[in-house]
Amino acid sequence: MTFIVGVLALAAVVCAAMALRAGKALVSALWLAGTSALVAFMLYLMGAHEIAVVELSVGAGLVTILFVFAISVAGDEALDVRTVIPRPLAIGLVIAAGLLLGWFTVAQPMAGLIQPIAAPVAAPLADVLWNQRGLDVLVQIVLIFGGVLGVIGLLADSAEKPDVKGPEAGVRDQTAEEVQL
Amino acid sequence: MTWTPLTLVLIGVICLLGVGFYGLLISRNLIKIIVALQILGKAALIAFVMAGNVNGQTGQGQALAMTIIVADTIVAVVGLALAVQVRRRFGTMDIKALSNLKG
Amino acid sequence: MTSSVLVALTIGLPWLGALCISFGVRDRSERAQHALAILFAVTSGLAALALLPTAANATILRIPVGGVFGDFTFNPDGLGVFLASVATVVGSLAVIFSVDYMRGEKQLGRYYALVLLFIGAMAGLALTGSILLLFIFWEITALCSYALISFYNDDPKAVAGGIKALIMTQIGGVGLLVGALIVYAYLGGYDISLLIEKANTLPPGVLNVLAFGFLIAAAAKSAQFPFQTWLPDAMEAPTPVSALIHAATMVNAGVYLLARFYPAFAPVPGWTMAVMIVGMLSALLTAIMALVATDLKRVLAYSTVSQLGYMVYAVGAGSILASQFHLLSHAVFKALLFLGAGAVIHAIGTRDLRKMGGLGRQMPLIRTTFIIGALALVGIPILNGFWSKEMVLEAGLSGGPAWIWIVMLIGAGLTALYTFRVVWMVFFGAPRGDDNHGATHAHDATHAMRFALVVLAVGALTTWLLIGPFSGLIASSFGAVAAGQPHELSLTEMIAEVVTAPATGIALIVIALAIGAAWWRRDKLTALGNRLGWLSRMATDSFGFEWINRTIVRGTQAIAGGLRVTQTGALNWNILGIVGGLIVVLAILAMGVAR
């Protein structure tokens, strides 16, 4: 059990890193789907069966489709040539934050909490979701509606106004950018 | 310190957070930034489910995880729509170029 | 159960209306906007009125939101329901008035959405039982006030006035937030009732900070000394907004705050005295300013600050009943005066008193209702202002030192003087308008305006008859907690109390003398500002307190300008800031844990 979870966590992190390393956006989206699937498996092992299913179908399925769709509409663009922030600085900061967090949660006496309690209160998800956290469900519905409205607004806007600048303008911008650099 | 499964999960969460933040720090491509946001969301998702298990309130943790999935998906949807739109308007998805455009 | 639905309706309906107007109709149909705004405002007013009989000092609506913020509770006791009713009813009338006043304006949707958002937030502020939620509603009202003052956002004066009002009321908001956090830290909850019950268990120093912090918060919100200068600058707002927000409701929030927490803070040494002095200075200084101002709406704004000073004074003197009763009277007659002034301004197109005069003949209805409001403001018997002002003065005499009482009496005389001056300069005497804004174009009020004016005028004549149930309401919201808690007072008792008190006679004599003096020199009133040159200069400068306000506003703007450097708009750098902040927070925490 320990071994499987450890391997899964490691694999998820590697997938995530690959998603960021990938040169093409499409590859990146596929690695993200892999991360999502591994996370879903971890959740399943942790006893969150319903959430695992939702994560697998929404996170690995729907979101990936959306990514592929968006990339096919917008086109790909390999960019990460030169970063705004120097890479060593970014790596240093992230490692510092990670070590601090790790020290807090794993190495501290607080880590004593990181033991599963013998008999968890068996409140089924549906019960909690509908009875205790009804407000959350309401907010989720509002969120979904807001998101849909936002997307409709964004995409409808483009139908009315055709491209102000062609793709060439973009290329020009980019070259100007490179010159500036 | 014993290596319980939950400790390993916790380390995994921290690593995922690190990877996500690194992506946000480094990336200049709008799509990559959304990918990094998704990775951060996954970390939070696992953390909530784990916290629910640790406190013995599995239902609460999972209900909150549900909210995170929904919110995260909305972020991805709206973000991608925005990226498509930005690409159509300005012909680029480089955030540095975009912030230099100023309107 | 029904009352919890009513609470939700009172707050929710205006907000729903705001949503419908801003997203549903937008600016497509002006008629639909007017109709929707009236519909939602009036139904919310009805819901608030329906709450009145069921007012009880108990939590009836509790929304659990997890452990961090405490539950969001709504606790519609007498005091709260009363203020919510004032907000929604005066709000409805202001919306009805707007139908005529704002006809044909651009961006009507924005106007109505903000007004409705304000009405809902004000009702929420009054009805909530949680200090944190009180703070949130408090801030929403401040935001609406700002956005509506700057409604004509191509006018730099309007924008400056809005910013000033926003910054000054934020001072109050920050005080309130700090207060809420202190209460949470020491008592473990955000409930107002918790603070009132357990105030004496707090360490004295903490209670002092809370009491004086809330006093500053209330003074900033109610434009009391030394923050009195934002309200006159807020007069760039459309007049119905001035009537609603800057006369009848939002500025009362400070008085409400003081009254609400009076039982908790009254034992703090020096607090009641400080409250009385703040009220006295506001009442006196702004009355003098009103005497020399030449802008119709500014005169009314000064007068509002002055009357709010009376309410604050009454709270300090220990009579919450008198204070809230004056709040009711003032809300009615000042809304009436503002709407009347709005009708005049709408008709002749200027706010300058020196360009008015002799308008009474062209607009008889406006004249009559305005004079009713003016008489109530002065405190002439039978009108509601008389009874409540006498109660305030009486309470002051019995609960405070005599010298403050005498100053307040002088303030009452000055009130009579400036009110007479305004009425005279607007409606009587020879027409002074030039050709462009001449009195010749003047016309009487149109239907919607008429309706709002007449309802408020009838209110100014009659609301004092409600003292019986009103005192019951106020008394019920202060159980046995307060030492000098308000008692129920029937109508006959009140009449007997007021008529037999010697204070009444003295006050009436002062008022009569002032009016007599004004009548005697009525032709000189116009040039009063010139004749009292030094006083006028000091008054327009707010006796030097303007610089406090100006310094605060400029300081805030300078800080904001400096901080703009951090807003690069470059995502990567912003994330760097976030990660850096995370590291700093964790490091600080780690130092705490490691110790």
The DSSP secondary structure of C273-340, one letter per residue, reads: HHHHHHHHHHHHHHHHHHHH--BHHHHHHHHHHHHHHHHHHHHHTT-HHHHHHHHHHHHHHHHHHHHH
pLDDT in tens, C40-67: 888 888 888 888 777 766 767 777 666 6
Query: In whole angstroms, what is the distance from residue C276 CA to residue C262 CA?
Result: 13
Q: Tens digit of pLDDT for each residue in C215-224?
A: 888 888 888 8
**DSSP helix/strand/coil, A48:** coil
Interchain CB contact of A149 with B (< 8 Å): no
A12 vs C433: CA distance, rounded Å: 80
Average pLDDT over residues C404-419: 84
Q: Which of B17, A84, A88, B98 is nearest to C573 (CA)?
A: A84
Residue with tokens 């929904």, as numbered in its chain: B70
Minimum-distance CB partner of B63 among A114, A125, A168: A125
Phi, psi of A34 (to 5 degrees): -60, -45
In chain B, which residue's Cα lies nearest the Cα of C571? B95
- State the Cα–Cα distance between residues C339 and A168, nearest whole angstrom: 59
| Chain A partners within 8 Å of B97 (Cβ) | 173-174, 177
pLDDT at C270 over 90: no
User: Same structural domain for residues A9 and A75?
Assistant: yes
Residue A31 pLDDT more than 80?
A: yes
- Evaluate whether residue A102 is within a structural domain: no
Q: Which pLDDT score is estimated for B38?
A: 93
Residue with tokens 């590697």: A14
Domain end call among A16, A44, A79: A79
Closest C-alpha among C495, C302, C291, C285 to residue C390: C495
Contacts of A85 in chain B (CB under 8 A): 25-26
| Residue partners of C200: CB distance under 8 A and separation at least 6 | C267
- Kind plus residue range of the DSSP H or E element containing C61: strand C61-63
Residue of A84, A108, A135 with shortest CB distance to C593: A108
Query: Strand C72-74 and strand C61-63: pairing?
Result: antiparallel
State in Å, rounded, how far the first CA of chain B is from the last one.
54
Domain boundaries, chain B: 5-101
> What pLDDT, on a 0 to 100 scale, did the predictor assign at position C220?
86
Which residues are CB-neighbours of B3 under 8 A, at least 6 positions away?
A2, A6
* pLDDT band with cut points at 50, 70 and 90 for residue B36: very high
Specify the higher pLDDT residue, C593 or C216: C216
Peptide bond before C226: cis, by omega within 30 degrees of 0? yes
Measured in degrees and rounded to the nearest 5, phi and psi for residue C71 equal: -75, 150
Torsion of CA C66, C67, C68, C70, to 10 degrees: 90
Chain A residue with minimum CA distance to B73: A63
Q: Which of A16-30, C328-342, C406-420, C482-496 has the lowest mean pLDDT?
A: C482-496
How buried is C581 (Cβ within 10 angstroms: 0-12 exposed, 13-18 middle, 19+ buried)?
Answer: exposed
| End-of-domain residue from the set A9, A44, A79 | A79
In this complex, the residue of A85, A97, A103 whose CB is nearest that of residue C583 is A97
**Interface touch C572/A85, C-beta < 8 Å:** yes
Give SS3 for C130. Answer: strand
* pLDDT-wise least confident of A116-120, B16-20, C429-433, C548-552: A116-120
The CA angle C500-C502-C508, to the nearest 5 degrees, is 100
- H helix intervals, C102-155: 108-127, 131-149
What pLDDT was estimated at residue B42?
A: 92
Q: Let me know: does C217 contact C172? Beta carbons within 8 Å.
A: yes
Distance between CA atoms of residues B86 and C513, nearest Å: 73
Task: Tell me whether B8 touches chain C (CB under 8 Å).
Answer: no
Handedness of CA A22, A25, A30, A36 (dihedral sign): positive
Residue C403's CB: how many other CB atoms inside 10 A? 9
What domain range includes position A16? 1-79
CA distance C459 to C388: 14
Whether residues A129 and A72 fall in one domain: no
* pLDDT range class, residue C267, cuts 50, 70, 90: confident
Gap between the Cα atoms of C523 and C135, Å rounded? 49
Q: What pLDDT, on a 0 to 100 scale, did the predictor assign at position C537?
A: 66
- Per-residue pLDDT tens for B62-82? 888 888 999 999 999 988 888
Q: How far is CA C523 from CA C361, C420, C592, in A?
A: 19, 12, 74
Measured between CA atoms, the residue of chain C closest to residue B28 is C572
Residues in Cβ contact with C407 at an 8 Å cutoff, skipping those fewer than 6 apart: C280, C283, C284
What average pLDDT does chain C have?
80
Which pLDDT band holds residue A177 (cuts at 50, 70, 90)? very low
Residues C343, C457: contact at Cβ < 8 Å?
no
Q: Which residues of C fall below an 8 Å CB-CB distance to A?
A: 63-65, 570, 572-573, 576, 579-580, 582-583, 586-587, 589-590, 593
**Percentage above 70 pLDDT, chain C:** 87
Question: Is B29's CB within 8 Å of A128's CB?
Answer: no
C-alpha to C-alpha distance for A168 and C38, rounded to whole angstroms: 53
- Contact status of C65 with chain B (Cβ, < 8 Å): no
* Whether C284 contacts C531, CB under 8 Å: no
The residue-averaged pLDDT of C463-469 equals 78
Q: Does A65 touch chain B (CB under 8 A)?
A: no
Residue B41: predicted pLDDT: 93
In a domain, A53, yes or no: yes
Confidence at C438, pLDDT banded by 50, 70, 90 = very low
Class of domain B5-101: mainly alpha
Q: How far is CA C554 from CA C223, C228, C410, in A?
A: 18, 17, 35
* CA atoms within 13 Å, Cβ hemisphere of C305: 34
- Same domain? For A68 and A9 the reply is yes
* Cβ contacts of A140 on chain B, cutoff 8 Å: 66-67, 70-71
pTM exceeding the 0.95 threshold for the entire prediction: no
Per-residue 3-state assignment (H helix, E strand, C coil) for A55-71 = HHHHHHHHHHHHHHHHH
Confidence of residue B5 (pLDDT cuts 50, 70, 90): confident
Contacts of C570 in chain A (CB under 8 A): 84
One-letter amino acid for residue A65 of the chain: I
Which of the four pLDDT bands, split at 50, 70 and 90, describes residue C407? Answer: confident
Task: Give the B window 18-37 contacts with A, CB below 8 Å.
Answer: 18-23, 25-29, 31-32, 34-36
Q: How confident is the model at residue B20 (pLDDT cuts 50, 70, 90)?
A: very high
pLDDT tens by residue, C99-152: 878 777 777 888 888 888 999 999 888 888 888 888 889 899 989 888 888 888
- Give the whole-number percent of chain B exceeding pLDDT 90: 28
- In chain A, the percentage of residues whose pLDDT exceeds 90 is 12
ipTM: 0.89
Q: Do the chains contact at B83 and A129, CB–CB below 8 Å?
A: no
At position C554, the amino acid (one-letter code) is: R
Is A109 among the domain residues? no
pLDDT at B37: 93
Q: Which residues of A touch C64 (CB under 8 A)?
A: 135
pLDDT at A117 over 70: no
Region C173-179: mean pLDDT is 85
The mean pLDDT value for B23-35 works out to 88
The conformation of residue A105, written as its DSSP 8-state character, comes to I
Nearest to C579 among A93, A103, A135 (CB): A93
- Residue A84: inside a domain: no
Q: What's the pLDDT at A180?
A: 41
Contact B32 A20 (CB under 8 A): yes
Cross-strand pairs, C520: none
The enclosing H or E element of C73 equals strand C72-74
Query: Could you give the CA distance from residue A66 to residue C487 in angstroms, rounded to a whole number?
Result: 67
